Structure 1
Amino acid sequence: MYPADTKSIKPGQLYVMRRDNRTLVPFDHDKITIAITKAYLAVEGGNAAASRRVHELAGDLTQQVAKAVQRYLNTDGFIRVEEIQDQVELALMRNGLHKVARTYILYREERRQARESKYKEQDGRTDVIQVTLEDGRTRALDEENLQKVVEQACADLAEVDANAIIEETKRNLFNGIKIGDLHKALIMSARTKIELEPNYSFVAARLLLNDLHYEALKFLALPMTHTDKEKVALYPQVFQKYIETGIEHELLSEELRTFDLDMLGQALKIERDRQFTYLGLQTLYDRYFIHHRGTRFELPQIFLMRVSMGLAIKEKDKNQRAIEFYDLLSSFDYMSSTPTLFNSATPRPQLSSCYLTHIPDDLAGIYNAIKDNALLSKFAGGLGNDWTAVRAMGAHIKGTNGKSQGVVPFLKVANDTAVAVNQGGKRKGAVCAYLETWHLDIEEFIDLRKNTGDDRRRTHDMNTANWVPDLFMKRVIENKEWTLFSPNDAPDLHDLYGFAFEEAYKAYEAKAERNEIKNFKKVSALNLWRKMLSLIFETGHPWITFKDPCNLRSPQQHAGVVHSSNLCTEITLNTSVDEIAVCNLGSVNLAQHVTESGIDTKKLEKTIKTAIRMLDNVIDINYYSVIQARRSNLRHRPIGLGIMGFQDALYKLNIPYASEAAVEFADKTMELVSYYAISASTDLAEERGVYSSFEGSLWSKGILPIDSIANLKVYRGEYLDLNTDKTLNWDKLRERVQTVGMRNSNVMAIAPTATISNICGVTQSIEPTYQNLYVKSNLSGEFTVVNPYLVKDLKQLNIWDEVLVNDLKYFNGSVQKIDRIPDSIKQKYATSFEIDAKWLIEAGARRQKWIDQSQSLNIYIDKPSGKKIDDIYKLAWIRGLKTTYYCRSLGASDAEKSTITRSTLNAVQMTDAIEQPKMCSIDDPECEACQ
């Protein structure tokens, strides 16, 4: 796959692989233009009118093709001639030039057959590919073993073809190919077919798994295995050797030796390796598996057992609990959060996901907080910083008799700290800064993510969020003035909410009117709101989060104040100078708990009972890099059980996301999750004792999350419109909670699950499907993602084929404009930007009534306008949502359409015969332009 002189390759240049000798030549736009011109003139003739027309068309069509192939520059750096020709065909057909396309297709096939004959005459196709082994020796390609490996990967999977993978692989081989590159070629060949048949994702994963076994067993100095039977027999031995090696290299905790390794090794279920998709397994390999200087020696089931052992390490019956936890994780019924997966059973088990900090208004406190950010981020913690207490620009500084530069310069330092400390090299450092809407620096804060202005007052890497009091929303709706203060002039506002905040705020406004406060500013509440929304549209930040519902519905009102949310807006815990709030997350895979007939409530209850125990264990096992976090977590013991695969569950039940049925399903499922989670925490309280700050909490008063809506209603009045229906026996649970107590101050929060949902092969969190076919990019690379539910439904209708795949690419993963797809399918498979955002809010509101914390709720708005965005965020507030997350709008650019299928399957059926004149197919050895 390389030119004769590899030194001639230039970085950033896209190369084309010639078919005759497999050399690479620079990509040339002119050849495409020539090919299109000749194809057009061959059909339309060479008269003046045709020449003028093709001159107009050729340039535009060439640009379409060139844009499509540019993706290869970011992956392999080269593209095969056939793939360029495929793009030419697609461009011709999409522009209505069907006769020209058909002529082009037939000519391509004619030239292909001619080349085949020429090659056979030259060498009889007797050349044998030589493979370079790791020690430098070469040997002939073992085609029999190649066939065996691919057939094993395809076993038990419908509609996959081992021979097709092998043939595709052979097309990419060259003499002297390294053995490792041969394995990669197999995987890549399977990957290219995922868009047409989702089961090829499992094939690619199994081929990758072979490489993982080879890498791990070689490092552990164990014999290689080839069959599933051999692997099952060897796995317990691999497991024990892995534990010893990990401890020896100080990568695993020595406490793992206290487990019965024989028992745990026998409990491993190697067959569950086969449920990974390629994206899931590659993600694990790149980011989660334990490695020694880059060499991974952890295998998937061993990885999940390692995590389970770490979570069971303080249990009395640790072996049985480890197996129980492993069964839950390995079945994908539930998955722990990323920090738990990273660090469980390691010497520093930092297992918590989120840390919420309160920044004080003094220089030492500010820099201590930034230091805490660095320490917490180092071990994969996501950060939410409350900056509202820091005085505003122009405020008096008593110690120096000077004036403050405000909060923005410190935010710049926090931003750069997050970039510098990138969570142990495993993922980017991440922090979100919160500022309350009455802060005098709020207008500058809103601009922090802009790409224009003074870069010293910009934070391009930090997330930002508005902490919005209800009084501000009332002033917006009533089109009244809003007053901005510096917190040193209004020190108690940040700690107040509800009626107390309103009273104090109005008192400060009166003081400002009497000139008793100098450093303030009056603005139109509506104009400030519009600026907030316009920046959300422009930059995606700051997010809109609502202070009063977070506090008025908090179970822990007696123990402090919720000053902000976290990095992903789902955590609502108290913070102070002395306490850094910590939350430990995990998610139930909802797709695993529904069938076509409905929710499997018994299985859901069992899953949640075990999951709550795992989350509670995190608190005692966790490594705390700062004392304030340990103090807070052990005192209140908050956890956050969430869900993922919500869209998958809807697919299984044949429910469109944009429907009242989906809203009801969101309501019902979250009621069940809430009931079982609270019950499980109560069971743990009976076994282990209540959390220390239980007395005085809403729990202790028999006020459950569904009951706390009344607190918000008293304050909001007409500004709250939230459904409060329920179906379960909450009186019984309410009595038990009040009598027995709770083990955890908070038990529920719906996180984004961006990565763990990839591992489990389901849609993330509560999100609708982004696109039904697209290329996903993350730290592990680029992956083709196709909606398997859609494919299944279209196969049943007998309309799933390669032409439909091309249509999906052309329409950016949307089925709405494909005529042969029925309306019922279009409704069911509407994508995130095709769903009216109000449905996201309505479903979110139904969930929120059951959750003691919040949810990461993204807003998707196609063709956004000021009115649309205004309506959606006001609806979110009226429905009682505590927080929102990103507001995503559809960009003007299209998805890449760079992997069009083979030409013969794109042929257009025509009845009129067309003479096949001489024309150019871009790689014609007899054409001067191709030389």
Structure 2
Amino acid sequence: MDTTTSTDQAAVDLTAPQRLRVIKRTGDVAAFDASKISVALSKAFIAVEGDQVESSSRIRDLIQQLTSQITDAFQRRMPDGGTLHIEDIQDQVELALMRSGEHKAARAYVLYRDEHTRARSAQNDGITKPHPTINVTHLDGTVRPLDLGRIETLVFDACAELSNVDAQKIVDDSLKNLYDGVPIDGVSTALMMTARTLVEKDPNYTYVTARLLQDNLRREALSFLKVADEATFGEMQEHYPVAFKAYIESGIAFEQLDEQLATFDLERLGAAIDHSRDNQFTYLGLQTLYDRYFLHQDDVRYELPQVMFMRVAMGLSLNEEDREGRAIEFYELLSSFDYMASTPTLFNAGTRRSQLSSCYLTTVPDALDGIYGAIRDNAMLSKWAGGLGNDWTPVRALGSYIKGTNGKSQGVVPFLKVVNDTAVAVNQGGKRKGAVCAYLETWHMDVEEFLDLRKNTGDDRRRTHDMNTANWVPDLFMKRVFDDTDWTLFSPSDCPDLHDLYGAAFQVRYEQYEEMTRQGQLKLFKRVKARDLWRKMLSMLFETGHPWITFKDPCNIRSPQQHAGVVHSSNLCTEITLNTSEDEIAVCNLGSINLSQHVIDGKLDGDKLKKSVRTAVRMLDNVIDINYYAVPQARRSNMRHRPVGLGIMGFQDALYAQSIAYASEEAVTFADESMELVSYHAIEASSDLAAERGRYESFDGSLWSQGILPIDSIEKLKQERGADYIEMDESQTQDWNYIREKVRSQGMRNSNVMAIAPTATISNICGVSQSIEPTYQNLFVKSNLSGEFTVVNAYMVNDLKARGLWDEVMINDLKYYDGSVQPIERVPQDLKTLYANAFEVEPKWIVEAASRRQKWIDQAQSLNLYIQGVSGKKLDVTYRMAWFRGLKTTYYLRALGATAVEKSTVDRSKHNAVGNDTATAPAVPAPAATAPTAQEPRGIEDFLKGKSGQRAPSASTIDELGCESCQ
């Protein structure tokens, strides 16, 4: 209705009603102008007839006639002049159109008046571009027009600086899903749902969706804190400092935040908040924070992303001399995603109950009060969000004599049932499932029943369906598997010293006990074939996913703290290897360097990595002193030894950034060199902290004090195990003599410094690949407690776009083949090699890369193994290789049976084919010519090569596995 007309109005007497005056809506008074009536009538006809108005003499004459009628009517009503209201004039125009029979034009004029009425009303409410028909119900119950201007601002802001996204499409498609009276949250939901459906078209839409989600977060938090009703991204630059101060005040008033936070210079910290970093989040990452991390009151989240990072930074700098300076340094590291603290630290830093540690390891004694005391400790530790690893080896086996009652023991299993139910009942403060892993050494008489704990058949009273289990395997057992000899099972009540022995000393004493069985001195034992027991271990691992396989001797022989005790188990996620006893519960504090953030222009930036590692180690060391300890044994252990576990994540992203395939010698070399740098800088940082703050209490006598670094301890393992049973690369590129001398002279602040955790949740927050994992699939739906999220490999999409291959057909092919590019004929071979998924990477590459990392790490790594076309032979080869290459632990086995890899018998390479001039490439590329040629252990055959046509698993929705405590 904004166009004008050139209709001839000369015949109308425009000067007759000179004495009439018009009151405008603003209250101003102006002279009556009949030409404006002609314009209004013209617009009504144009809305109906369009351009025909210009050429229609009938309409021109009618407009002139109606204008004259309306003017004459006012003159007759007020012959001596007077004052009219603008609404009176518009009423007469509407009436004149109706009387003349021009009902369509009259309707157009009514709509025109209504639209302008809404616009004027909206302007009074600050709405500059109201929707003509859709009203929005706000949180206070008021109904106002939908603000199209704000929606466009939000969406265009969300798409800013992102390529290949269409802001107008999101706006248009979202409006189709809205209705009159829609709640304000429904508008945001419609925008997000529209954007998230486009993620499979282009990965950048995940950032658009996250930025649209920010609007909900801002509205919820800012209104709760009484800072603003809502805000755009740009307005947050001013709102964040104000919201930060209001947040601190509110959090302390709600008794959620530590009162010490109010003593910081909040003006300085608020000014340091960088609102632009909100734009780094993927939708999955931000939704995860919203659902599980942000502080809330009465189910209202009043914590914003950058406020959360500053809260964590403040909580970790409480004891620093320059608290504000360190808090800003810590904030910069966290909010940039260069490093991320573990989930317990993100949950609780800066709160009144700062339980920041990730993992707890306990040893269960062979006494009833000790057993139930250990179960109580599990409950208390789980309450405050700790992942648990229990060493159950000391508990006597089934059938063992009980002196106090003159009866026989029921063994370990009934107690494990109680542990299982305790983990279910105490679910980590109501935030997530309780999580525990029970460890048992392979010589324990109950080991065969222990292997069956996760089976779905058998006596349910002797099954543990919710807890995890792991084998704690001595080297001697593995040697007997290789040599195909017997293995003897004992009750620890008959040979208690085996629990604390390892290496050559274990072998000597174990063989003495075996001789005692032959002499009749030990009655309770069982002799089995080592390979039969090994096969059952692998069979149960494939069938139930448990028990995991971890190796006792390398964990102890290479432990810096072997002078202070024995490592009896690992933790829930198999990366922690710390001493435990009845008096000490081992504690570890975790965080992970985001390796992909340190690859700049295709190269690992050593200077940036050094800076990040040094700050990260300081943050982790601070956790020890600030931490809340639920049981005294944990505090005693942590204060005495001060272990931390710095790990990495985004390894696969870092490879992509360098165009390196996971299944390649280049990837193995990068794993080696990147971990060497992390190790170098982490050890130096801990040593420098020792110079600043003092050595850890039990430093004297440690391997550190002897100048033996993790790389040096490989030689000790070779000597204890025997050179024929181990092969590890020992090459190095850094000046390690400098570090040895520094550690000797300054000491170490931390008994242990490195451990690679699985990072399932914090990698989601940062939007990178988990830990050291290969890509699971290139296009899939990830399912976790926050919902389901489409995930697409952005690196792959960009490479396919560069070659003109990214289109609807490619998307459909990827869906059909469950995210695998291998069967898609038109994908070039180099991209098939680069974007092979986890099941298309031969497991030897995963093991070899892990071995290169293990040489630098003083603890262990959460190592998932992926095997496609699984068979007993493949499992045997893979796990023997893991031991032979010096790994300390393994984690989940993700196996894909041969019958699961084919979707149909049709020629799948022809599905949605485009340009099929080339032959179908094998699904799993042959190893590169530069593949490792190191000698493999005796009895290990070459790994089976992948078969042509095999692909990733047929499930298109991936559930996250297990524990989040270590992330």
- 1:338-353 matched pairs, under 5 angstroms: 338-353=343-358
Q: Aligned partners of 2:589 and 2:709: how far apart in 1?
A: 21
**What's the counterpart of residue 282 of structure 1?**
287
The 1:802/1:864 distance shift into structure 2, 3 A limit, reads same
2:442 to 422, 437, 442: 437
Q: Aligned partners of 2:132 and 2:337: how far apart in 1?
A: 47
SS in 2 for 1:335: strand
**What's the counterpart of residue 785 of structure 2?**
779
- 1:329-728 matched pairs, under 5 angstroms: 329-717=334-722, 718-728=724-734
Q: Aligned partners of 1:233 and 1:218: how far apart in 2?
A: 15
How much has 1:781 moved relative to structure 2? 0.6
SS in 2 for 1:565: coil
How much has 1:192 moved relative to structure 2? 0.5
**What's the counterpart of residue 827 of structure 2?**
821
- Provide Cα deviations, 1:335-364, integer angstroms capped at 9, x if missing partner: 000000000011110000000000000111
2:317 to 312, 317, 324: 312
- 1:878-897 matched pairs, under 5 angstroms: 878-890=884-896
Aligned AA (2:673) = K
How much has 1:768 moved relative to structure 2? 0.3
SS in 2 for 1:315: coil
How much has 1:801 moved relative to structure 2? 1.1
Q: Aligned partners of 1:713 and 1:446: how far apart in 2?
A: 30
2:568–2:580 Cα contact (<8 Å) kept: yes
Rg larger in structure:
2
Q: Aligned partners of 1:447 and 1:288: how far apart in 2?
A: 36
Q: Aligned partners of 2:244 and 2:194: how far apart in 1?
A: 31
- 1:201-240 matched pairs, under 5 angstroms: 201-240=206-245
SS in 2 for 1:394: coil
Aligned AA (1:722) = M
**What's the counterpart of residue 30 of structure 2?**
none
Q: Aligned partners of 1:744 and 1:514: how far apart in 2?
A: 47
- Provide Cα deviations, 1:13-47, integer angstroms capped at 9, x if missing partner: xxxxxxxxxxxxxxxxxxxxxxxxxxxxxxxxxxx
- Provide Cα deviations, 1:365-414, integer angstroms capped at 9, x if missing partner: 11111111111111111100000001111111111111111100110111
**What's the counterpart of residue 151 of structure 2?**
146
Q: Aligned partners of 1:178 and 1:737: how far apart in 2?
A: 62
Unmatched segments (≥5 aa) in structure 1: 1-122, 898-904, 911-931
Q: Aligned partners of 2:851 and 2:452: how far apart in 1?
A: 29
Which ranges of 4 or more aligned residues in structure 1 deviate by more than 6 Å?
Answer: 891-897, 905-910
1:225–1:231 Cα contact (<8 Å) kept: no
Aligned AA (2:544) = T
SS in 2 for 1:182: helix
2:730–2:855 Cα contact (<8 Å) kept: yes
The 1:441/1:166 distance shift into structure 2, 3 A limit, reads same
How much has 1:596 moved relative to structure 2? 3.6
2:810 to 783, 798, 804: 804
Q: Aligned partners of 1:259 and 1:592: how far apart in 2?
A: 30
Q: Aligned partners of 2:544 and 2:180: how far apart in 1?
A: 50
Q: Aligned partners of 1:260 and 1:834: how far apart in 2?
A: 53
How much has 1:740 moved relative to structure 2? 1.1
Q: Aligned partners of 1:169 and 1:893: how far apart in 2?
A: 40
**More moved, 152-161 vs 491-500:** 152-161
**More moved, 731-740 vs 543-552:** 731-740
Aligned AA (2:658) = L
**What's the counterpart of residue 260 of structure 2?**
255
The 1:304/1:895 distance shift into structure 2, 3 A limit, reads farther
How much has 1:583 moved relative to structure 2? 0.4
Aligned AA (1:222) = V
SS in 2 for 1:131: strand
SS in 2 for 1:863: strand
User: What is the alpha-carbon root mean square deviation over aligned residues?
Assistant: 1.9
SS in 2 for 1:393: coil
How much has 1:476 moved relative to structure 2? 0.8
Aligned AA (1:429) = G
How much has 1:868 moved relative to structure 2? 0.3
1:795 to 801, 823, 827: 801
1:690–1:741 Cα contact (<8 Å) kept: yes
Q: Aligned partners of 1:872 and 1:726: how far apart in 2?
A: 26
Tell me, yes or no, if structure 1 residue 198 matches structure 2 residue 203: yes
How much has 1:225 moved relative to structure 2? 4.4
2:395–2:492 Cα contact (<8 Å) kept: yes
SS in 1 for 2:409: strand
SS in 2 for 1:169: helix
Paired-residue identity, %: 66
The 1:439/1:208 distance shift into structure 2, 3 A limit, reads same
1:752–1:765 Cα contact (<8 Å) kept: yes
Q: Aligned partners of 1:493 and 1:697: how far apart in 2?
A: 22
Q: Aligned partners of 1:342 and 1:603: how far apart in 2?
A: 27
**What's the counterpart of residue 269 of structure 2?**
264
2:362–2:581 Cα contact (<8 Å) kept: yes
SS in 2 for 1:705: coil
**What's the counterpart of residue 278 of structure 2?**
273
Aligned AA (2:202) = E
Scaled by the length of structure 1, what TM-score is found?
Answer: 0.82
Aligned AA (2:788) = E
Q: Aligned partners of 1:370 and 1:772: how far apart in 2?
A: 42
SS in 1 for 2:399: strand
**What's the counterpart of residue 764 of structure 1?**
770
Q: Aligned partners of 1:826 and 1:595: how far apart in 2?
A: 24
How much has 1:896 moved relative to structure 2? 12
Q: Aligned partners of 1:369 and 1:377: how far apart in 2?
A: 12
1:359–1:387 Cα contact (<8 Å) kept: yes
How much has 1:147 moved relative to structure 2? 2.1
SS in 1 for 2:553: helix
**What's the counterpart of residue 59 of structure 1?**
none
2:154–2:232 Cα contact (<8 Å) kept: no
- Provide Cα deviations, 1:224-278, integer angstroms capped at 9, x if missing partner: 3434443211211110110010000010000101211110000000110001111
How much has 1:293 moved relative to structure 2? 2.6
Aligned AA (2:405) = T
Q: Aligned partners of 2:234 and 2:179: how far apart in 1?
A: 33
How much has 1:444 moved relative to structure 2? 0.5
2:451–2:537 Cα contact (<8 Å) kept: yes
**What's the counterpart of residue 841 of structure 1?**
847
1:595–1:653 Cα contact (<8 Å) kept: no
1:752 to 750, 755, 758: 758
Structure with more relative contact order (C-alpha pairs < 8 Å, separation 6 or more): 1
How much has 1:139 moved relative to structure 2? 4.1
How much has 1:127 moved relative to structure 2? 9.0
Unmatched segments (≥5 aa) in structure 2: 1-110, 112-130, 905-910, 917-967
How much has 1:907 moved relative to structure 2? 12
Q: Aligned partners of 1:276 and 1:505: how far apart in 2?
A: 55
Q: Aligned partners of 1:155 and 1:849: how far apart in 2?
A: 45
How much has 1:515 moved relative to structure 2? 1.9
Aligned AA (1:363) = L
Q: Aligned partners of 2:726 and 2:736: how far apart in 1?
A: 23
- Provide Cα deviations, 1:596-646, integer angstroms capped at 9, x if missing partner: 441100000011010000000000000000000000000000000000000
Q: Aligned partners of 1:790 and 1:540: how far apart in 2?
A: 31
